[in-house]
Amino acid sequence: MKRSLSLLLLLAALSAAPLLSAQTPPQEFGVSKVESDELVAFIRAEITPEIYFVKDPADNRNYTVRAPKEQFLEKALAALREGGYQVWQYDGKYIVVRDGDLRAVLPAGYFARQEAGKPAVDSALYQDRNVTMTFRNKIYEIGDPERARKSGKATVRGYVRDAASGEPIVGVSVYDESGKSFATTDEYGYYKLTLPVGAGKLGFSGYSLEDLKLDLMVYDDGGLDVVMKEKVFSLKGAVITSESMSQHRTSQLGIEKVRINMIKNVPVVFGEADALKVVMTLPGVKSVGEASSGFNVRGGATDQNLILFNGGTIYNPNHMFGILSAFNPDVISDVELFKSSIPAQYGGRISSVMEVKTREGNNKKVEGSLGIGLLTSRLHLEGPIVKDRTTFILGGRTTYSNWLLNLLPAGSSYAGGKASFQDVNLGISQKIGERNTLHAYGYYSRDKFSFSNDTTFRYRSINGSLKWHSVFNDRHSMTATVGYDTYHYSIEDRFNAYTSYRLSNAVDQGSAKLHFKSILSNAHTLEYGLSGIRYDLNPGSYHALGDSSLVKSRDLTREKALEGAVYLSETWNVTDGLTLDAGVRWSQFYRFDDGSTYGGPEFRISGKYSFNDVTSIKAGFNTMRQNIHMISNSINVSPTDSWRLSSAKIRPQTGWQAAAGFYRTLLDNTLDLSLEGYYKRVQHYIDYKSGAVLVMNENLADDLVETENRAYGVELMAKKTLGKLNGWVSYTWSRSLLREMEDRGIYTINGGKWYNAAYDKPHDVKLVANYKFTHRYSISANLDYATGRPVTVPISKYEYGHGVRLVYSDRNSYRIPDYFRLDLAFIVEPGHYLRQLTHFSVTFGCYNVTGRKNPYSIYYTSDGTVIKGHMLSVFATQIPYINLNMKF
Amino acid sequence: MKSPCLLPCLLLLFAVVSCVYDFHPDWQGQAGFVAIEGDILVGDTCQFEVRFSTDLEDENNVGEPLTYTLRVEADDGTVYLLQDSIVDLTMASLTQEYRLVVEVQSPFRRTYASAWAPVLVSPPIDSLSYAINAERTALDINVSTHSDAPVGYYRWSASETWEYHSTYYAEYFFAPAGTVYRGRVIEQNSLVAYEEGDNVYYCWDSGNRSDILLGSTVELTEDRLVDHCLYSFSNTDRKVSVVYFVELSQIRLTEEAYRFWETVRNNSSNVGGLFSPEPSELRGNIVNVDDPDELVLGYVSVSTCTRKKIFVNNYDTRFSRWEGSSYNIVEPFPDIPDEWRKYYGWRYRFGWIEEKEGGSNTVWAPIECIDCRASGGTKERPWWWINNDK
């Protein structure tokens, strides 16, 4: 550690040297009426020997440059540029050549883009002229100088890619240093913004990337592709991040994005980096307890979250019943959660949309990683199939968690219990021409848990999708997606040969979506499209297992339906500070088996006003509809839950949310403060009658009741995305209440009054922080405090049937003790010795450092005649872990 | 659908790090709900109990006293009254509908009645048996029954008696001065040998199972349960250490009654886990005739009752005999009574005399190890017991 520290200091000192040497006293001198080679010779003699020059034989121009010594070089280079030379600066050296001489070093067509609306004759020239940014301190010319506009604005666009892997970089802020022009790269790394004609500076910045500032000379519309390097260390104290800037740029509320870097830093139980667990550390996201991957967004139910993995719907994002999420951290790029303003292109769930995306494979070379944790081992490979054109990324995980079960006492009836899971991810991207990209994604995940060889639980998810992204021209693009998602769950019980059965249920869905984006003008952007999902659900199959089984095999009627939607949304930049977003989505649901149909409009409206670059306010309103419902009678998301569609008897859930927020960025754009408040109502949320039969019930609707949900809250968050210390701290105050909609007399839940939802935890403090001592060593902390969740407790007891029984009354009227947990991790990143073939990273951590016995539930059991109160704590002790990762 | 003998404990995954603690509620309970227990067993005698529910922290479960009269009514107008704390329905007709009527006189005057219901016929129990699992770690009590009637629901109640013995056989006991043994007054503290036939080694205990035993054939092709597991013992359970006896009573239930009992079972034993269903209250079929909104606890079923008995003998199961709690303190005792009091208190009794080279030692053991009565049983051997232990 000491060695790398001193190395780092040395590097820092070296890099600072040029800045120091600039401090020389002024001195007037110069040359007049000399040829270019003489001018360069003068520079070489007087200022720097490190200038390389290739004289164009056609150049017979005379140069006169006079300036104080410290400004001389700049003026001389400017003069050479005027004379038609390109000036490159690299590593303190200057390279001066005439136009086009360096063209050969650029990969042919690597980043080039056709420029529509230009004469074909010109295009080849300008493609090359505005090719990839390679060096800093060069003045990049945008557009054709011959056709330079005198004033006004021009459009600059291009791609931002990673220097090492060539992958597009999402979410990089591109901004005009002088003006207010700003853009963020989209998922293809594409950006576009309007700049004033003339000289200017364009800044590029993104999380964990080296900040980049380029000098521009804008003549006309043109392209500029940029490669950015991953930041090795930061010389400047502050770097602007896309997140911090975008908060003041988009009008949408309640969007949280977490990148894999952060996900990998957050300590979690057993040390397996887990996207879902990190999402649960965001304000406004709650869960009923530990070891639960079901989450509640802003007082909504767990089934009201749409979980998309590369566009495919995931119905059970858990492994091992919630210990681990089903997303392999090695292939994930980021997770985005929409908890308030849900873009019109998404629909079908009331509360939120969580989008998990995988990375694109490295398009330069094949590489991979191998990871070993307490529960899983992981392998991932990525690289080009055809260099710069076709890439792949493949990730797989498997578990060897049986050791956990083997720790149980031998001879206990748990002997023979086995738990296992696997998941595989595959992503292939193919560039077709310069404007089209085809992506293929595949995902497979399976879980198996058996108990004493008698009972076996299994579930699996399979997703496959094809995505075609096409850029028609600068202003219009299209994304077409088709996909197939399936989720199967089964339980086999062979305890008694005469009643052996297999119970299963499944969700199969095929989906298609066509999405267009049109930039009508600088002020107006339209997004529109249509989508359709065909559902085919098996709500339950119950089959005899074995010859002697007396079980009456039967299947519930399959539920088939079509859900279609059309949507249109517009972003209108009214003024520099004011942005409005308005969207409408019409969704129509038709169920084939009973003919029921539901449809209606959904509105998505939000607006933002920025007082300046660092202060904004926003407000939004949106309505949602949901036609697929999870049937569960436990408060946790359990593998036995099944999904049902709206029917003639089960109405769709509908809801609306109004939200408003205040945002301010402080400390050189490194600290974002946000305050958001919301109020939410949901109708027709499903609850259950006492004694309801949820499994294999043909007349399920008779056992259900409809409730309405009222949720409101305030989320306060401070987030630091850059610097040695980064992370966020948040405080949330929120409530979520339910009320039965129908009056069933004495059977009405809580007498028809509002009662607490099971995940109603009013006060909530969360902290996620990572502090980098050096580039290699960092420490992470995760802190979670929340009010205890409400539980239903008995009010009385009575003797009955030779045992003591309990009387339960009002639902969720009592709260378990408050929750508090602190996790710590120490992370050692690999050294950056380029010649080294493999790089190791190690994480040591401890979950629940204070060992607090946080209660998950309170319950009573009757042991014959005695009633006993118990408190269950899931992770009642410190859980240390170690995780080893090897990159190659 | 799920066998009670199989405990699909998903929590198991977390068993290594999870923990269960005692919890004492800090909220005020509520006593005073009326609970009415008992079924109308046509062709049998039946017993009913009416009591108040109690506060959660009330340790003896005895609510406020109630005085009441009750009767079973048939829909032809016949009334069967309570006599000697039973209602005799041995001559009642299977073709009537019945209900229970309870008139409470104090502490208030209220009339409760169960819903009218026809008689369900419980088929004979084909067999009552036991089975030992392959690992020889558990013993299941299984029932088989079938009928030609449509599929339906069953409930059983089980009355158990078991013989067990203490870990060690005490040949002597310590008798303080003044103890009377076999009519003889022991005059000073001394060790007294048990006489022939006297021992505190074999004991008998009995009780009714508190588990709610339910079965259903509605998911089967016919009304037949084969080796349906009722409950299990671990191989170290004292109840199956020597001889175990159970008498099973079987009645049939309606779907509504089954759901009621299932909810009661979930509420009292199947709660608190990660994937446990939320507790919920379910009303039975008994109402206060003047105030139908009053919560009345209990469900009265109308059915015939069939019975079966079984003995489980350790001689057959070949489980190792119960070894009791593993006290390690059986040791030679230096001096007699005063020292005994001084060091070990009342919990130790004299065990046996161990012959050793150069003399003998008196061996002392905790009372639980040598006196079976310390574990709750008595020396009252049922007259119909199958072995010769005394």
Residues A176 and A313 in one domain: no
A vs B: CB pairs below 8 A: 275
Averaged confidence pLDDT in chain A: 80
Q: How far is CA A4 from the centre of its chain?
A: 32
Cβ of A542 and B222 within 8 Å? no
**Nearest-angstrom CA–CA distance, B167 and B371:** 8
Residues A139 and A259 in one domain: no
With vertex at residue A495, the alpha carbon angle to CA B217 and CA A315, rounded to the nearest 5 degrees, is 85
Chain B residues with CB under 8 Å of A798 CB are: 33, 35, 51-54, 61, 63, 297
Cβ of A746 and B19 within 8 Å? no
The answer to whether B150 contacts chain A (CB < 8 Å) is no
Q: Which of B274, B37, B266, B285 is nearest to A692 (CA)?
A: B266
**Nearest-angstrom CA–CA distance, A638 and A380:** 29
pLDDT for B63 equals 77
**Contacts with A, B 275-304, CB within 8 Å:** 275-283, 292-293, 295, 297-298
* Integer CA distances (angstroms), B99 to A629, B71, B286, B287, in order: 41, 9, 10, 12
Residues B136 and B246 in one domain: yes
**Nearest-angstrom CA–CA distance, A303 and A685:** 10
Map residue B374 onto helix, strand or coil. helix
User: Does some domain include residue B346?
Assistant: yes
Nearest to B219 among A408, A552, A870 (CB): A552
**Nearest-angstrom CA–CA distance, B73 and B94:** 13
- Grade residue B32 by pLDDT with cuts at 50, 70 and 90: confident
For residue A262, give the amino acid letter: M
Indicate the DSSP class of residue A129.
H
- Grade residue A880 by pLDDT with cuts at 50, 70 and 90: confident
The answer to whether B209 contacts chain A (CB < 8 Å) is yes
**Nearest-angstrom CA–CA distance, A709 and A754:** 9
Position with higher pLDDT, A505 vs B58: A505
A434-474: pLDDT as tens digits: 788 899 999 999 988 876 667 888 889 999 999 999 888 87
With vertex at residue B182, the alpha carbon angle to CA B176 and CA B186, rounded to the nearest 5 degrees, is 30
Cβ of B275 and A806 within 8 Å? no
User: Does some domain include residue B182?
Assistant: yes
pLDDT for B345 equals 42
Domain end: B300, B334, B364, which one? B300
Cα of B227 to nearest chain A Cα, Å: 7
Q: Which of A282, A421, A299 is nearest to A354 (CA)?
A: A282
How would you classify the pairing of strands A173-176 and A226-228? unpaired
User: Does some domain include residue A200?
Assistant: yes
Is the pLDDT confidence value at A565 over 90? yes
In 10 A of CB B99, how many CB atoms? 19
**Residues A840 and B251: beta-carbon distance below 8 Å:** no
Residues A319 and A219 in one domain: no
Least confident of A501-505, A705-709, B175-179, B238-242: B175-179
Cβ of B278 and A797 within 8 Å? no
Least confident of A203-212, A475-484, A589-598: A203-212
**Nearest-angstrom CA–CA distance, A260 and B141:** 54
The answer to whether B63 contacts chain A (CB < 8 Å) is yes
Range of the domain at B369: 167-200+325-375
Is the pLDDT confidence value at A19 over 90? no
The answer to whether B227 contacts chain A (CB < 8 Å) is yes
Cβ of A499 and B264 within 8 Å? no
User: Does some domain include residue A413?
Assistant: yes
What stretches of chain B show up as alpha helix (H) in DSSP? 255-269, 314-317, 337-344, 367-370
- Grade residue A794 by pLDDT with cuts at 50, 70 and 90: confident
In 10 A of CB B8, how many CB atoms? 19
**Residues A208 and A231: beta-carbon distance below 8 Å:** yes
Map residue B95 onto helix, strand or coil. coil
Cβ of A869 and B25 within 8 Å? yes
**Residues A752 and A739: beta-carbon distance below 8 Å:** yes
Is the pLDDT confidence value at A214 over 90? no
SS3 content of chain A, % helix, strand, coil (to 5): 10, 50, 35
**Nearest-angstrom CA–CA distance, B76 and A538:** 49
Mean pLDDT computed over A172-201:
78
Per-residue tokens: A365: 């070379």
User: Does some domain include residue A61?
Assistant: no
User: Does some domain include residue B178?
Assistant: yes
Residues A192 and A316 in one domain: no
Residues B195 and B289 in one domain: no
Is the pLDDT confidence value at B8 over 70? no
pLDDT for A245 equals 44
Cβ of B280 and A746 within 8 Å? no
Residues B127 and B249 in one domain: yes
Residues B182 and B329 in one domain: yes
Residues B133 and B239 in one domain: yes
Sort residue A529 into left (φ over 0), alpha (ψ -120 to 50) or beta: left
Q: Which of B264, B6, B269 is nearest to B140 (CA)?
A: B6
**Nearest-angstrom CA–CA distance, B35 and B58:** 16
Is the pLDDT confidence value at A730 over 60? yes
Cα of A796 to nearest chain B Cα, Å: 5
Determine phi and psi for A809, rounding to 5 degrees.
-130, -110
Per-residue tokens: A735: 């409530």
Map residue A600 onto helix, strand or coil. strand
User: Does some domain include residue A173?
Assistant: yes
Residues A324 and A279 in one domain: yes
Residues A502 and A383 in one domain: yes
Q: Which of A325, A306, A302 is nearest to A314 (CA)?
A: A306
Is the pLDDT confidence value at A703 over 70? yes
Q: Can you give the CATH number for the domain in which B264 is found?
A: 2.60.40
Burial status of residue A237 (CB atoms within 10 A of its CB: 0-12, 13-18, 19 or more): exposed
**Contacts with A, B 33-52, CB within 8 Å:** 33, 35, 37, 49, 51-52
- In our burial notation (b when 16+ CB lie closer than 10 A, e otherwise), range B283-297 reads bbbbbbeeeeeebbb
User: Does some domain include residue A51?
Assistant: no
Residues B41 and B70 in one domain: yes
Per-residue tokens: A567: 């949507």
- In our burial notation (b when 16+ CB lie closer than 10 A, e otherwise), range A283-311 reads bbbbbbbbbbbbbbbbbbbbbbbbbbbbb
Chain A residues with CB under 8 Å of B5 CB are: 495
pLDDT for A127 equals 35
Per-residue tokens: A834: 């380029």
Range of the domain at A883: 255-887
**Residues B9 and A320: beta-carbon distance below 8 Å:** no
Least confident of A107-111, A371-375, A728-732: A107-111
Sort residue A314 into left (φ over 0), alpha (ψ -120 to 50) or beta: beta
Helix orientation angle between A69-82 and A36-46, rounded to the nearest 10 degrees: 160
Q: Which residue is closest to B9 within chain A, CA to CA?
A: A451
Q: Which of A816, A839, A815, A844 is nearest to A829 (CA)?
A: A839
B80-89: pLDDT as tens digits: 998 888 899 9
Residues A202 and A311 in one domain: no
Is the pLDDT confidence value at B311 over 90? yes
Cβ of A853 and B19 within 8 Å? yes
Domain end: A216, A231, A246, which one? A231
How many residues are recorded in chain B? 390
For residue A527, give the amino acid letter: E
Cβ of A693 and B259 within 8 Å? yes
Residues B141 and B205 in one domain: yes
A421-431: pLDDT as tens digits: 899 999 999 88
Chain B residues with CB under 8 Å of A801 CB are: 37, 157, 210, 212, 264
- Grade residue A111 by pLDDT with cuts at 50, 70 and 90: very low
Mean pLDDT computed over B34-62:
87
Cβ of B271 and A860 within 8 Å? yes
For A845, what's the count of Cα atoms within 13 Å in the CB-facing half-sphere?
30
Residues 6+ apart with CB under 8 A from B384: none
Is the pLDDT confidence value at B357 over 80? no
Chain A residues with CB under 8 Å of B226 CB are: 496-499, 550
In 10 A of CB A104, how many CB atoms? 7
User: Does some domain include residue A28?
Assistant: no
Looking at the DSSP bridge assignments, the partners of residue A658 are A621, A679
Residues B146 and B185 in one domain: no
Is the pLDDT confidence value at A86 over 80? no
Domain end: A215, A231, A247, which one? A231
Is the pLDDT confidence value at B298 over 80? yes
B131-180: pLDDT as tens digits: 988 778 888 999 999 999 888 999 999 999 999 888 777 777 777 778 88
Q: Which of A502, A630, A799 to mutate to test the interface with B (most CBs of B within 10 A)?
A: A799
Q: Which of A740, A859, A868, A878 to mutate to test the interface with B (most CBs of B within 10 A)?
A: A859
Is the pLDDT confidence value at A53 over 70? yes
Least confident of A48-52, A807-811, A880-884: A48-52
pLDDT for A235 equals 33
Per-residue tokens: B270: 């199947």
**Contacts with A, B 6-35, CB within 8 Å:** 6-10, 12-25, 27, 29-33, 35
User: Does some domain include residue B275?
Assistant: yes
pLDDT for A864 equals 60
Residue linked to tokens 């002392």: B364
The answer to whether B325 contacts chain A (CB < 8 Å) is no
Q: Which of A699, A223, A673, A274 is nearest to A434 (CA)?
A: A223
pLDDT for A603 equals 94
Residue spans of beta strands (DSSP E) within A111-169: 139-142, 153-162
Mean pLDDT computed over A357-377:
83
Map residue A745 onto helix, strand or coil. helix
Chain A residues with CB under 8 Å of B275 CB are: 321, 634, 636, 638-640
SS3 content of chain B, % helix, strand, coil (to 5): 10, 40, 45
Is the pLDDT confidence value at A211 over 50? yes
Cβ of B53 and A796 within 8 Å? yes
Mean pLDDT computed over A735-761:
88
Residues A423 and A388 in one domain: yes
Chain B residues with CB under 8 Å of A752 CB are: none
Q: Which of A499, A738, A811, A866 to mutate to test the interface with B (most CBs of B within 10 A)?
A: A499
For residue B220, give the amino acid letter: L
Per-residue tokens: B21: 């603690």
C-alpha torsion sign, points B122, B124, B126, B131: positive
Residues A278 and A219 in one domain: no
Cα of A879 to nearest chain B Cα, Å: 8
Chain B residues with CB under 8 Å of A690 CB are: 263, 280-283
Per-residue tokens: A682: 């949901």
- Cα(first)–Cα(last) distance of chain A, in Å? 22
Q: Can you give the CATH number for the domain in which A418 is found?
A: 2.40.170.20
Residues B130 and B243 in one domain: yes
Chain A residues with CB under 8 Å of B3 CB are: 493, 495-496, 499
Position with higher pLDDT, A170 vs A20: A170
Residues B143 and B212 in one domain: yes
Mean pLDDT computed over A771-796:
86
**Nearest-angstrom CA–CA distance, B64 and A280:** 49
Residues B194 and B342 in one domain: yes
Cβ of A875 and B227 within 8 Å? no
Mean pLDDT computed over B57-83:
86
**Nearest-angstrom CA–CA distance, B215 and B155:** 6
Residues B35 and B78 in one domain: yes
Cα of A642 to nearest chain B Cα, Å: 14
Determine phi and psi for B155, rounding to 5 degrees.
-135, 140
Sort residue A435 into left (φ over 0), alpha (ψ -120 to 50) or beta: alpha
User: Does some domain include residue A803?
Assistant: yes
* Integer CA distances (angstroms), A336 to A171, A526, A642, in order: 12, 22, 26
Cβ of B138 and A802 within 8 Å? no
Cα of A430 to nearest chain B Cα, Å: 42
Mean pLDDT computed over A110-138:
40
Give the total number of structural domains in chain B.
Answer: 3
Q: Can you give the CATH number for the domain in which A166 is found?
A: 2.60.40.1120
How would you classify the pairing of strands B243-253 and B306-313? antiparallel
pLDDT for B271 equals 66
Give the total number of structural domains in chain A.
Answer: 2
Chain B residues with CB under 8 Å of A412 CB are: 137
The answer to whether B3 contacts chain A (CB < 8 Å) is yes
Cα of A356 to nearest chain B Cα, Å: 26
User: Does some domain include residue A22?
Assistant: no
Residues 6+ apart with CB under 8 A from A42: A31, A34, A76
Mean pLDDT computed over B285-295:
92
A477-528: pLDDT as tens digits: 899 999 999 999 988 888 888 889 999 999 999 999 999 998 888 788 899 9
Indicate the DSSP class of residue B277.
B
Mean pLDDT computed over B354-372:
66
**Residues A721 and A670: beta-carbon distance below 8 Å:** yes
Averaged confidence pLDDT in chain B: 81
